[in-house]
Amino acid sequence: MIKIWLNLIAPSLVAGLLAAACQTVPLTGRSQLQLVSEQEELAMGLNSFQEVLHKEKLSQDARQNERVSRVGARIAAATGRTDYQWEFRLIEDDQQVNAFCLPGGKVAVYTGILPIARDDAGLAVIIGHEVAHAIARHGAERVSQQMVAEGATAAAVTLLGGSDPDRANLYAGLLGAGASVGVLLPYSRLQESEADRLGMIYMAKAGYDPRAARDLWLRMAESGAGKSKPPEILSTHPSDATRIRQIEARIPEALQYYRPR
């Protein structure tokens, strides 16, 4: 069944999409599918950031706000994206061990991750990773992949399901699950690993020792953050062990960019 789908749909679909929408990730050189324009992506990022700031409580801790802004500004400068309107906000939520960066350089750090960050270098690992997602346009890439997966699934269901709605629903479920586990989740894990790699380079360029990345993710694993994780094959992120191993392997590359301040 999958073979029929691949033979009938995939070749022409993939060829057309690659010709029209293939772009390259900075520094890593990886080719990626982009069906969303950068202008659309920036607009979505700004709207989402404004919604978050409207809903969340911003921290009033002047010292920690200054720290987030200072470290963030150094990472932002290291990316070379002077066209972004960078913003760095600290959200008061000690239960959220998290941070994010939306398209256009809209960065938020939750207070719950600061104890794990510990120092400026640890915070640089976190911000560098999130900023890397935005620079590499991972969000738009995920949307593009989802569009292709949904379109291909719909076409396959039409061909294979015919006029029988029960068969169509069955095929839709099987193909959707196959696309998720076989394509979308592996790409998500690839993006997370790529963000680790880019983030280490950006923090090194900003004058932070990239070896702090290994220490940060060891602390993250020990903290139990996200303890109820699914098996790696069903997860959007690499396992802690995989992530730490990959980071250790990439330290020599990042050190080539490191100039202590």
The terminus-to-terminus CA distance of the chain in angstroms comes to 58
Residue 12 lies in a domain: no
Beta bridge partners of 32: 23
**Residue 2 resides in a domain:** no
What does the alpha-carbon distance between residue 77 and residue 96 come to, in Å, rounded to a whole number? 27
Classify residue 15: in a domain, yes or no: no
Q: What is the pLDDT of residue 241?
A: 95
CA-closest candidate to residue 68, choices 22, 35, 100, 30: 100
What is the chain's alpha carbon radius of gyration, rounded to the nearest angstrom?
A: 20
User: 239 with 217: CB under 8 angstroms?
Assistant: no
Domain assignment present for residue 128? The answer is yes
Please report, as a single letter, which amino acid is at residue 44.
Answer: M
DSSP state of 57: P
Catalytically active residues are 130
Question: Total domain count for the chain?
Answer: 1
Domain presence at residue 230? yes
Type of residue found at 246: Q
Query: What pLDDT, on a 0 to 100 scale, did the predictor assign at position 43?
Result: 95
Structural domain includes residue 260: no
Its domain, for residue 237, covers 20-255
- Tens-of-pLDDT digits for all 261 residues of the chain? 333 333 444 444 455 445 556 889 999 999 999 999 999 999 999 999 999 999 999 999 999 999 999 999 999 999 999 999 999 999 999 999 999 999 999 999 999 999 999 999 999 999 999 999 999 999 999 888 887 766 655 555 455 545 555 544 443 443 344 434 344 677 789 999 999 999 999 999 999 999 999 999 999 999 876 556 777 766 878 999 999 999 999 999 999 999 998
Q: Indicate whether 8 belongs to any domain.
A: no
Tokens of residue 134, six digits? 């935005």
Burial bucket for residue 21 (CB in 10 Å: 0-12, 13-18, 19+): middle
Return the pLDDT at 148: 75
Q: Would you state the pLDDT for residue 188?
A: 87
DSSP classification of residue 111: G
DSSP assignment letter at 61? -
* 9 domain residue, yes or no: no
pLDDT tens for residues 149-194? 666 555 554 555 455 555 444 434 433 444 343 446 777 899 999 9
Amino acid letter for position 248? E
